[in-house]
Structure 1
Amino acid sequence: MRPPRLPRLPRARGACPVVASYGGKDRSLRGAAAKLDHALDRLGVEHDVREYPDAGHSFLADAPNGPAPLRPLMKIMGAGPEPASARDAWDRIEAFFDRHLRP
């Protein structure tokens, strides 16, 4: 998820709590975690945003994904599972949902 652009921030005021996890090696979303964290801070939206330095795009996946012929390229790009980061991210997601979605 790309962070909202500054002109769109007022529309996000009053948004529900947000949990987000980004891979630090994901070049397509470089700096997105910090931007989203800053935007949500400015809006006063409760959030838990973290960037995992050892993870790339799709790091939460259990197994390599995408078309089989492209998987070697995805691996070179750093995309795909990163179990240690994924374990921490899923723990954060589950705790966040427990806190905000339990009756």
Structure 2
Amino acid sequence: MLPKDLDALAGACPVVASYGGRDRALRGAAARLRTSLDRLGVVHDVHEYPQAGHSFLNDAEVGPRPLRPLFRVMGMGPDPEAAADAVQRIETFFATHLSTPHTEKAES
């Protein structure tokens, strides 16, 4: 979920976010977040996967077994193609923004 006051993100650390376009609970969240982060000058990688739904990064079906068919109809559950791309984006983003700069050891 997005914060109610997106302006509170001013000065935030770099943000990476992935959304499923079929996630009804978060419809439009990617666009709203991207627009706000652009306006606030926060470094980000926000992407929406149109074919994916809620829980698309999960490896296994979501929820109790009897409810899984309903969740699939609702567009919830794994999407291996979107998940693979999202994981790659996350890893690249972390490598870029969380890596420790190497400094040469001063000679004694």
Residue 19 of structure 2 is matched in structure 1 by 22
Residue of structure 1 aligned with 2:70, choices 67, 70, 73: 73
TM-score between both structures, scaled by the size of structure 1: 0.91
Question: What residue identity is the alignment partner of 2:97?
Answer: H
Q: Cα gap change, 1:76/1:9 in structure 2, threshold over 3 Å: closer, same or farther?
A: closer
Alignment length, in residue pairs? 100
Residue of structure 2 aligned with 1:31, choices 28, 32, 46: 28
- How large is the RMSD of aligned CA atoms in angstroms? 1.1
Question: What residue identity is the alignment partner of 2:33?
Answer: L
Residue 59 of structure 1 is matched in structure 2 by 56
Q: Which runs of 4+ in 1 moved over 2 A?
A: 2-5, 8-11
Question: Given that residues 9 and 43 in structure 1 are in contact (C-alpha distance below 8 angstroms), is that contact kept between their aligned partners in structure 2?
Answer: no
TM-score between both structures, scaled by the size of structure 2: 0.87
Residue 88 of structure 1 is matched in structure 2 by 85
Residue 103 of structure 2 is matched in structure 1 by none
Gaps of 5+ in 1: none
Gaps of 5+ in 2: 101-108
If you compute each CA radius of gyration, which structure gives the higher value, 1 or 2? 2
Q: Which has the higher helix share?
A: 1
